[in-house]
Copies of this chain bind each other. A is one copy, B any other.
Amino acid sequence: MTIPVPVEEALKMQSCSGQVSQSSQAVSLETALEIILRYAQPVGTERISTRSALGRVLSENLYAPVNLPPFNRSPLDGYAVRAKDIADATPDRPVLLEISQEIPAGSYSEIELAGNQAAKIMTGAPLPPGADVVIKFEDVKKTDNKIGVVSSLPAYANYCFAGEDIQQGEQVLCGGKVIEPASIGILAALGIPVVPVYTKPKIAVIGTGDELIEVNNRLKPGQIFDSNSYALAAYVRQAGVEPVMAGIVGDNTEMIACKIAENIESAHMIITTGGISVGNFDFVREALGSLGARILFHRIAMRPGTPTLVALKNGKLIICLSGNQAAAFVTFQLLAGPALAGLMGITKRRLTGTTAVLADDYRKTGTQRNFTSGRAYFDDGILKVRITEKQNSGNIKSTLSINALIDMPAGTGYFKAGTRINVFLLHPLCRYWHNGSL
């Protein structure tokens, strides 16, 4: 996915109004993504409490304000002693040390250990001055206020140094990363109660089509329920962003333009479905033209989702997907998802690509580049992928099991089981699995 991309070329091919010729050339997926990501920028920053920061995106690198641990401490329950005092200890000639102090967790001692003294110490408690080694409770013989040590230990055995986990001033978290539970733990451990994050973008989802009705109605002949708005809004919400379900609009240029205009002020991006088939019923493109939106591209050299259209209005992306559910799903994942990540401020915006072993034979239809839906799974540590049964773009049931898109290049035809092929892993969290580069 790092092919150099002639973005300027691609941009030049497109007119700056909605009135470009219907035969505008299809762009490659890579070019489409490059164009989209140019405009998918974070929408702002704010400061929020660490308690509520899960899933948000850090907007700055964070550095440790303190050492972790904050002091030299004992890693176990035992006796802090001086290594030189016990250097000659053996089971036959145990060294006797006086228990001169006790340091429970949460307390500390400024009293230096004198020769042949031991401090009873709890896990995590600060080591007293002079002590350089800790002996486990189980390894000593205790009598009244003395312990008998039966073996030596090198200096700094069972000894945790201040800052050995995290050093004060060290970078601990990166801007542009999603704050995960472990990040919350680190922030708390460092005593950071407030963090800088990117503001959540607002994403409006619009369904277009005379055949669509809202879910809580009764179907009349020829109608279908608007499932795309629901599914796309759910993908947006899964990414941690609250979608605006802007509703359904019929196949009418003026009404579509009106709906887009209504939402473009408050939303940072609009996703529409339907009404983009190049030809007789290109309502969305006409609507965009009437609004003076700039068409960035219309048509991508891939299936499904060839007629995908992306426009810009007031600097905001309007991503127009096919009305076919499976096509809308694939193009959302490949284009709208990365745009969403960009608006959220996530540095790694593209899907994770890797290779997988094809589980079954497959015959690709057509000569175009195909993104075939599949289900990836681990088989004894090997990533394999099974192609989901029905691949026609109106099929919605298959979306339930898809977690990978298989990139089948233009011009290819028959793939034998066992072939290693390029896949994109779909789960948004698989973004963070790429080559260990968290």
Q: Which residues of A contact B (CB under 8 A)?
A: 50-51, 54-55, 66, 68-71, 73, 75, 77, 103-108, 122-126, 137, 160, 165-166, 172-173, 180-193, 209-212, 215-217, 219, 221-231, 233-235, 237-238, 245, 250-251, 277, 279-281, 323-325, 329, 352, 354-357, 375-383, 386, 390, 392-397, 399-403, 420, 427, 429, 432-436, 438
Q: Judging by beta carbons under 8 Å apart, are B77 and A279 in contact?
A: yes
Partner of A188, one of B107, B225, B420: B225
Partner of A181, one of B125, B217, B238, B397: B238
Partner of A106, one of B251, B386, B427, B433: B251
Chain B: which residue is nearest A166 at the CB level?
B397
Within 8 Å CB of A277, what residues of B?
77, 123
Q: How far is the CA of A211 from the CA of B237 in the complex (A)?
A: 39
Q: How far is the CA of A54 from the CA of B108 in the complex (A)?
A: 49
Q: Judging by beta carbons under 8 Å apart, are B189 and A396 in contact?
A: yes
Q: Judging by beta carbons under 8 Å apart, are B396 and A381 in contact?
A: no
Within 8 Å CB of A395, what residues of B?
165
Chain B: which residue is nearest A220 at the CB level?
B108
Q: Judging by beta carbons under 8 Å apart, are A191 and B215 in contact?
A: yes
Q: How far is the CA of A357 from the CA of B105 in the complex (A)?
A: 40
Q: Judging by beta carbons under 8 Å apart, are B77 and A187 in contact?
A: no
Q: Which 8 A-B pairs have the closest CB atoms?
A: A185-B231, A106-B210, A188-B230, A181-B234, A189-B227, A108-B222, A106-B211, A188-B227
Q: Give chain B nearest CB distance to A56 CB in angstroms.
A: 12
A sample of 9 cross-chain residue pairs with beta-carbon separation below 8 angstroms, ordered by A number, consists of A54-B234, A105-B209, A108-B222, A166-B397, A185-B227, A185-B228, A191-B215, A191-B219, A386-B436
**How many copies of the chain does the oligomer comprise?**
2
Within 8 Å CB of A185, what residues of B?
227-228, 230-231, 234, 325, 329, 396, 399
Q: Judging by beta carbons under 8 Å apart, are B210 and A104 in contact?
A: yes
Extra inter-chain contacts (9) besides given A165-B395, A172-B400, CB under 8 Å: A75-B394, A181-B238, A185-B234, A191-B217, A193-B215, A355-B380, A378-B433, A378-B435, A429-B429
Q: Judging by beta carbons under 8 Å apart, are B231 and A107 in contact?
A: no
Q: Judging by beta carbons under 8 Å apart, are A356 and B381 in contact?
A: yes
Given contacts A68-B396, A182-B399, contact A435 B377 (CB under 8 A): yes
Q: Judging by beta carbons under 8 Å apart, are A122 and B429 in contact?
A: no
Chain B: which residue is nearest A380 at the CB level?
B355
Q: Judging by beta carbons under 8 Å apart, are A105 and B251 in contact?
A: yes
Q: Judging by beta carbons under 8 Å apart, are B397 and A381 in contact?
A: no
Within 8 Å CB of A105, what residues of B?
209-211, 222, 251
Partner of A137, one of B107, B230, B279: B279
Within 8 Å CB of A180, what residues of B?
234, 238
Q: Give chain B nearest CB distance to A175 CB in angstroms.
A: 15
Q: How far is the CA of A329 from the CA of B184 in the complex (A)?
A: 12
Within 8 Å CB of A55, what residues of B?
238
